[in-house]
Amino acid sequence: MKKILTISFLLISVLVFGQKNIIRIENGNISGIRGKNPNVLVYKGIPYAAPPVNELRWKTPQPVTNWEGIRKCEAFSASAIQNKPVPFMMYTAEFLAPQEPLSEDCLYLNVWTAAKSSAEKRPVIVWIHGGAFTSGSGSVPLYDGENMAKKGAIFVTINYRLGIFGFLSHPDLTKESEYNASGNYAILDMIAALKWVKKNIAAFGGNPQNVTIAGQSAGAFGINVLMASPLAKGLFHRVIAESGGIFGLTRKTPSLAEAELVGVKLAEKMQANSIATLRIKPADELLKLNGAMNSPIIDGYVLTEQVHEIFEKNKQNDVPLLTGWNAGDRFPRQKVLNAIDFKIDAEKKYGELSNDFLKVYPANTDEEAKESQNAMDGDILFSWQNYTWAKLQSSKGKNKAFLYHFSHVPPQFSDKQDFGAFHSAEFGYALHTLHKWNRPFQASDKILEEQMSSYWVNFAKNGNPNAKGLPDWQAFDSTNPQVMEFGKTPIYSKLPSKEQLAFWDKYFMEQSNKNK
């Protein structure tokens, strides 16, 4: 009888996937659409939490209300409210959220699957978008999951609250919460999405016991917090973090008390003497303050200590890690110092270590000083963060880390500035979405795309990026640090910026000892 029931279930699953594109999840039935490849089914705009509007503004994500009949999940939902996405520098429309709709009602996710039945238990990749925690969306064109689904993964993208909507802290919000904290709502959204995946992804042919969280820039920052947060324990089993982390160096993660003070000042600026008044303020008014609060904090609930300390004590959610950064990971400086001022600034900031600093970031000429400032900014914001992440995981944790460096320069249009291997240049290759990016790609680009995306899917399958036909990628060893270099072709090679990274290790250690 049990065997008959099992066969019946599989036949029903195949029928649902194969003909009607209808599946049942926790809250009801949903319908999807076929991808460009008819073997891929796409479900867009699935709610994973109630709309965080009105009295739910600045509340933890609440359960979705069940529905009757079939809910059409055939088009993307609104992206989280943000300033109108407008192309700038190298960031063309392919990197940005759609210009509309934008809304506070944004807690939705999207699923791509090529599974033929719900019994397949394919590896799951949950992509968390970047955008400095003030912009972005799960519907960014370059996040399209069809090719990753064709490679065997269930691919999920999510939206989460941004800016002041996702991070406002205030004493009154802390007081009304059941966990005596406020802020970090964006991170709580991510956790709610992962809980949804755990409950529902099997219906799409995914394995809830093999979930990889992946993301870039702010997405990687968020993942860093998730890996450190006790609330996310057991919700994921691998981590892919591209160009981002919050291990501290020149800026530490703020405390709840510090964030509450900022929140009080913002409320005063809005002439709001209560949270109730803030909750009825039009979203467009609050949007003007979107950059005022846009980062995770140590609230004692989502995050209990500095991330670096959590990893040092091996208290992180210990899972296999794949991480790295780009050769051009940096942003244009608002103010570039000349050589003399750069040296003076170095002496003020680094004291006894200033000579060591100027050896690795020389300033013998103004041009050299400019180059050093660009390199320094990239190393502080990205290189050292991801290098440190791999180093701590490999030395403190039980699971392996795999480190990469992306130096491949995408082809440029003749009338566009060459931005090199810029911040965000890698994920079109890693997610196999170059077909969504309007650049004159060559055969070599397509080969690299195939290789990188295969590494990513292999890692999601078993915690190791390697497979037959790919150059060998060894696990990171802090005693002999090397990286998988993604240039024209992947090659395992020496750690780039080794001397610069060693300086920041030394500087960070000194700062940590001073604060003890």
- CB crowding 204-219: b at 16 or more within 10 Å, else e: bbbbbebbbbbbbbbb
Query: Cβ(106)–Cβ(97) under 8 Å?
Result: no
> Can you spell out the DSSP letters for 380-407?
IIIIHHHHHHHHHHHHHSSS-EEEEEE-
Distance CA 306, CA 228 (A): 9
Q: What are phi and psi of 33, to 5 degrees?
A: -130, 165
Residue 26 structure tokens? 């926790």
What is the arrangement of strands in the sheet containing 28-31, beginning at the earlier edge strand? 22-25, 28-31, 70-72
Per-residue CA distances from 48 to 2, 22, 139, 371 (Å): 33, 18, 15, 45
Distance CA 230, CA 307 (A): 12
Residue 397 structure tokens? 């944790």
- Identify which of 326, 322, 357 has the alpha carbon closest to the alpha carbon of residue 343: 357
Given 169, 217, 295, 372, which residue is catalytic? 217
- Identify which of 155, 237, 197, 242 has the alpha carbon closest to the alpha carbon of residue 457: 155
Q: Is 13 among the catalytic positions?
A: no
Q: Which amino acid is at 96?
A: L
DSSP 99: S
Q: Which helix (H) or strand (E) holds 18?
A: none
Distance CA 506, CA 489 (A): 33
Q: What are phi and psi of 403, to 5 degrees?
A: -110, 140
Residue 131 structure tokens? 């955008």
Per-residue CA distances from 513 to 11, 247, 347, 509 (Å): 63, 16, 20, 6
Question: Annotated catalytic sites, by residue?
Answer: 217
